[in-house]
Amino acid sequence: MPTLTDSTSAPLPLTSAAGPGLPGSQPVPADPLASLRDIHLPTEVTQLPIAPGWWVLAGLILIALVVGYAAWRRHRDAHQYRRAALQLLQQIDVNGENSSASLQAINAVLKRAALVAYPQTHIAGFYGEAWSQFLRQSAPDLVQPAQVPDLLSTGLYAAPAAQTESLAILLDYAKDWLRKHVKESRLALMDRGSQEQKSVEGLTPGSPAGDPETHKQGNINAAS
């Protein structure tokens, strides 16, 4: 027969078995990081493919570079004869004993440069005053020294003493002419404008060419 001592022989648990709604119960907290996602870096921004506008801009820049380089080459080639002539003038000895040869060398360099610069003009047939006048017309912004016309005509065959005094003047003028003479197209326009101006002046009232009485008198004289 069971006794009281048998029913109470098992030891009682030390923790409470109360449920969640019971007083004294503690809910087990959930992990707060369990619901967070991992860190995702943003998609890297790329420059490709390039927008069409950038391709157009690059093409325009390339065309501008090609055109600029071609223009620079044409300008350099067009003025190559100037640099070559200046180098030839640097080689002429103005202090040498043979001043006549130096004067003729300067004149020859000017002629060679003018033949290249003005191929449509009959430069080879210019001598003396005609040659010095052409040099003045082809470099309108350059003042020609008064000694140059004589040097290019009779000065080439003058006494060496007289040539030595004017050698440096002609050399400096030749260098300035090589740097400042205009193109053949501009020279043609200048000549055309000069001819038109002379024509207008001839038709101006009061001038012999534009005076009707003069023409009338001339016709009468021709008829008589």
Number of domains in the chain: 1
The answer to whether residue 73 is domain-embedded is no
Q: Does residue 163 fall inside a structural domain?
A: yes
Q: Is residue 106 part of a domain?
A: yes
187-203: average pLDDT: 60
pLDDT at 31 (0 to 100)? 73
Q: Please choose, from the candidates 104, 116, 114, 103, the residue with its C-alpha nearest in 3D space to the C-alpha of residue 177.
A: 114
Domain residues for 106?
A: 80-183
User: Is 3 part of a structural domain of the chain?
Assistant: no
- 89 touches 106 (CB < 8 A): yes
Q: Is residue 166 part of a domain?
A: yes
Domain annotation covers residue 44: no
Strands (DSSP E) contained in the chain are: none
Q: Examine residue 174 and state whether it is found in any structural domain, yes or no.
A: yes
The answer to whether position 158 is within a domain reads: yes
Helix axis angle, 128-138 relative to 99-117, nearest 10°? Answer: 50
pTM of model > 0.75: no
Residue 186: band (very low, low, confident or very high) from pLDDT cuts 50, 70, 90: confident
pLDDT at 215: 43
Contact 114, 152 (CB under 8 A): no
pLDDT tens per residue, range 35-73: 777 777 777 777 777 788 888 999 999 999 999 999 989
| Sequence-ordered list of residues with C-beta below 8 angstroms from that of 171, at least 6 positions apart, any chain | 89, 92, 94, 106
